[in-house]
Amino acid sequence: MLFGLLGPGLIAANAGNDAGGIATYSQVGAKYGYELLWMMVVITVSLATVQAMAARMGAVTGKGLAELIRETYGIRWSALATVAVLVANVGICVSDFVGIGAALDLAGIPAQISVPIAAAAIWLIIVRGSYRSAERVFIWLTIPFFAYPIAAILAKPDWSQVGHAIIAPQIHHDSAYLLLFVATAGTTITPYMQLYLQSATVERGVRVEDLKKETREAISGAVFADVIAAFIIIATAATLYAHGIHSIGSASDAAKALAPFAGRYAEALFGVGLLGASLLAAAILPIATSYVVSESLGFEKGIGHRPREAPVFVGVITAMIVVATIVAVIPGVPVINLLIGVQVVNGVLLPITLFFIWRLSRNAALMGEHRNRRVTDALTGITVLFTGTLSLVLVAVTVILR
């Protein structure tokens, strides 16, 4: 019953809390304490709106987003989205395999051993299993996220300050605050989440009569993912920020820094959460990318398909996992520069993806009675404008600061 209630919405939203996302949330807590918690409320509304639209389009049309873009707007726009997704997702995938190595390094297992084993396991789950079996594994991988609320409680935060920060926004005007603000929005609402969610909804066989349940699942998944993100901020704010540590280099650095203030258990919990998040995102990213490539070019697709049945779909997944594994085990790989470049590409891609989701979901010929209504359409338009503006600002700020 539990697996029947949970699905693509929960998986997609939690995949967004990957290694780069955890590092960003940790930096927010270390740099500004609880002050940015209010923005998680705003971002949650935007994320829930976009995720619900992607699920609704998948259920009503029975097609993935890339396929709808190709059929409605032509091959050129579809090709643009595909190339952008490939470039951005390969970079993010590398960072998540690096996250797997960093999490297990906390337990004394070197990345040269842990990353190839994890890569082989992920490939087997996706290619050799069925969609249902893969989905169950992905849902199990959301369980480690509960480590973050526990770590936050162990950190003994001032809950009155937490509540005040949520309802009373505090805004700074320095460039570091702006960069973290837009980076948090960008890492919380990422294009591959919507791409995966819509295609997975189609592959799961969701029907129009299941639309209300699927929409609720998409919204609840978004809320759950952002609550977890808020707990990461709370945990690092109560420990690092409270003790004068205002900068961390990675998610694993945040885990190590928690130990002196919240104990070894908090460090271990943070590491468990990082491992689960990295494994989930490292599996979802190749799938989302392969969905886009296959749908854009009109090839067979689907989790569990053998190479002879869907050569392009399986080939893209295999290539991404191999490339990410090779780069992740290289000692001294410039991960920070890689992530900066990926942020810029994602900053360009996000408003494009969200614009297409908005336009397609309000298309009466495509969606019929399930198209966006006036209130929903207005809220969606504001969401697209808000997230698109933030993403473009992120690009501008990143280029200027470089």
The pLDDT value given to residue 230: 93
> What CATH number is given to the structural domain containing 126?
1.20.1740.10
In order along its 402 residues, the chain shows pLDDT tens digits of 444 456 778 888 888 888 878 888 888 898 999 999 999 998 898 888 888 888 899 889 988 888 898 888 888 888 877 887 787 788 888 888 988 988 888 888 888 999 999 999 999 998 887 878 888 888 888 888 888 888 888 888 999 999 999 998 888 877 778 778 877 887 788 888 888 888 888 888 788 888 888 888 889 999 999 999 999 999 889 888 888 877 776 666 777 767 766 677 777 888 888 888 889 999 999 999 999 888 888 888 888 788 888 899 999 999 999 999 999 888 876 655 565 556 666 666 777 788 888 889 888 888 888 888 887 788 778 877 877 777 677 667 666 665
Q: How far apart are CA 57 and CA 71, in angstroms?
A: 14
Q: Considering the entire predicted model, what is its pTM? A: 0.86
The pLDDT value given to residue 399: 66
For the stretch 41-53, pLDDT in tens is: 988 988 888 888 8
- Parent domain of 54: 2-401
- Contact call for residues 361 and 218 (beta carbons, < 8 A): no
> What is the tally of structural domains in the chain?
1
- Read off the tokens for 329: 């085990």
The pLDDT value given to residue 344: 60
Q: How far apart are CA 110 and CA 115, in angstroms?
A: 8
The pLDDT value given to residue 295: 87
Assign 3-class secondary structure to the chain.
CHHHHCCHHHHHHHHCCCHHHHHHHHHHHHHHCCCCHHHHHHHHHHHHHHHHHHHHHHHHHCCCHHHHHHHHHCHHHHHHHHHHHHHHHHHHHHHHHHHHHHHHHCCCCCHHHHHHHHHHHHHHHHHHCCHHHHHHHHHHCCHHHHHHHHHHHHCCCCHHHHHHHHHCCCCCCCHHHHHHHHHHHHHHCCHHHHHHHHHHHHHCCCCHHHHHHHHHHHHHHHHHHHHHHHHHHHHHHHHCHHHCCCCCCCHHHHHHHHHHHHCHHHHHHHHHHHHHHHHHHHHHHHHHHHHHHHHHHCCCCCCCCCCCCCHHHHHHHHHHHHHHHHHHCCCCCCHHHHHHHHHHHHHHHHHHHHHHHHHHHCCHHHHHHHCCCHHHHHHHHHHHHHHHHHHHHHHHHHHHHC
The pLDDT value given to residue 395: 67
Angle at 142 between CA 140 and CA 144, to 5 degrees: 95
User: Which residues, 6 or more positions from 246, have their beta carbon under 8 angstroms from its beta carbon?
Assistant: 30, 31, 240
